[in-house]
Structure 1
């Protein structure tokens, strides 16, 4: 039976995800690179700010860091105890997940790649979609813990499968965003009212999560609030393209999407919300998508 859980990484997503764990009625340890943030979280939600050594000593460790490289470095220096389950909610690299699963298996621990989708609002509401790859027995142990911040938990296959699904999902999100922006650009050029057009699309077969929740709220409003950084989406698209190339598949649309989103340099993309990528299209066409 799980006696303790730790959450590592209190960023935009992790802060909210970890806030739901105390509802489980077990000890919840939190650790963040910026120590004060862990103390702030403990004060607000009743978690316990700890040193990294105490965090990785928990029965179930959940991590939410920017990249697989961050997780690899952390586990190499601070491995979990035998019998522990490490649930990695990072949007990571499938090959890294496979290697970490093998490494932890040697010391009697388990590693699950369990990336999440639903943005910060889903993290705050505890309604995230979690796609899990790895050992099924470890998944059964971790399931009731993950449930604290999830609306849907789906076991998708062996190690690396969760990361693969997340990378493809985010690449599809980018594709939907770009395709919708191109469609609205056509309508803008025809002097069609974009707000009315979008309302029609959202009640027709062209609708998507992007058309319903992103386009009007971020692009047409010109607000572009930063909730999911563009450089992280660029990373996820890159992971998906690597999977395409590993199997020597010829999939033109996904590769073209990567080309478009990579036109913004990483240092700039780090400061922008992913929706701001549409400004590239606006510069190309000299047509601004606004209400």
Structure 2
């Protein structure tokens, strides 16, 4: 079973449905081995809740082991956007109750994940126990937000200083300040003024919030993440939840009295 829903809350509700419906975990009578229910969750989830969901399923399936399927929960957070999904080149960040399934390229779980990450250019990373995939995804997108915010400030600064932003990006992309965001999102989605990556502000806000909760739960010193969360919340309030996350640059432009300044030369 594969799921990809808005938040871990919906995953938890589905887990409750499975636990409370005896037929969904009922094991076939035939065969010498206990059958398994493999659940691959591609939601960008909250790691502690992911672990709790997996534990809830394990407890339910062990109550009457002879009559119930064994459940194996795998959190498979993905990155790469809609275009990556269509091309089968997503990065899959995977945690599992059975991590060996991810390393075994012939396992049914791994072969299914390869459907969206197995093409040339895709990546599958087995990261350890259940919850690990969702933890890495949330931190990854907190880094995305911070890079996008700082990149927006940097490019607006250069544009207002009279520097050719496109040329500046080319220089930075061969220097120590380069980032994946500057090398990809800015030239493809921002300088073109298309803002068409396909990942909205609501999704970014949720992932940064998950990362922040994870940090706070671990007692992490995190002033940068707290600031990124505040700025993402402010941008979401200005742009709306359905705006593409790359539109954050518009907020920086407007507050700097430089609307539309971050653009490619050909648009002049």
- Normalised by the length of structure 1, the TM-score is 0.74
Indicate the residue corresponding to 1:168 in structure 2.
139
Cα shift at 1:204: 2.5
Match of 1:183 among 151, 154, 172: 154
Alignment match, 2:32: none
1:1-291 maps to which residues of 2 (within 5 A)?
A: 61-78=1-18, 81=25, 83-106=36-59, 107=61, 108-135=70-97, 136-139=99-102, 140=104, 141=107, 142-150=109-117, 151-225=122-196, 227-265=198-236, 269-287=240-258, 288-291=261-264
Q: Tell me how far apart the structure 2 counterparts of residues 138 and 86 of structure 1 sit (CA, whole Å).
A: 12
Identify the range of structure 1 (216-225 vs 238-247) with the bigger mean alpha-carbon deviation.
216-225
- Judging changes above 3 Å, is the alpha-carbon distance between structure 1 residues 221 and 65 closer, same or farther for their aligned structure 2 residues? same
Listed as ranges, the gaps of 5+ residues in structure 1 are 1-60
Report the Cα offset of residue 274 of structure 1: 0.7
Q: Which moved more, 1:216-225 or 1:132-141?
A: 132-141
Give the direction of change, closer, same or farther, for the CA distance of 1:197–1:267 in structure 2 (3 Å limit): closer
Q: What is the Cα-based RMSD across aligned positions, in Å?
A: 1.8
**Secondary structure at the counterpart of residue 113 of structure 1:** strand
Give the direction of change, closer, same or farther, for the CA distance of 1:257–1:68 in structure 2 (3 Å limit): same
- Contact kept, 8 Å, 1:112 with 1:138, in 2: the verdict is no
Cα distance in 1 for partners of 2:116, 2:237 equals: 30
Q: Which has the higher contact order (CA 8 A, sep 6+)?
A: 2
The offset of 1:251, in angstroms, is 1.8
Secondary structure in structure 1 of the residue aligned to 2:156: helix
Give the match's secondary structure for 2:234.
coil
Q: Deviations over 1:3-34 (max 9, x none)?
A: xxxxxxxxxxxxxxxxxxxxxxxxxxxxxxxx
Aligned residues: 231
Structure 2: 5+ residue runs without aligned partners?
28-35, 62-69
Please say which structure displays the higher CA radius of gyration.
2
TM-score (norm 2): 0.80
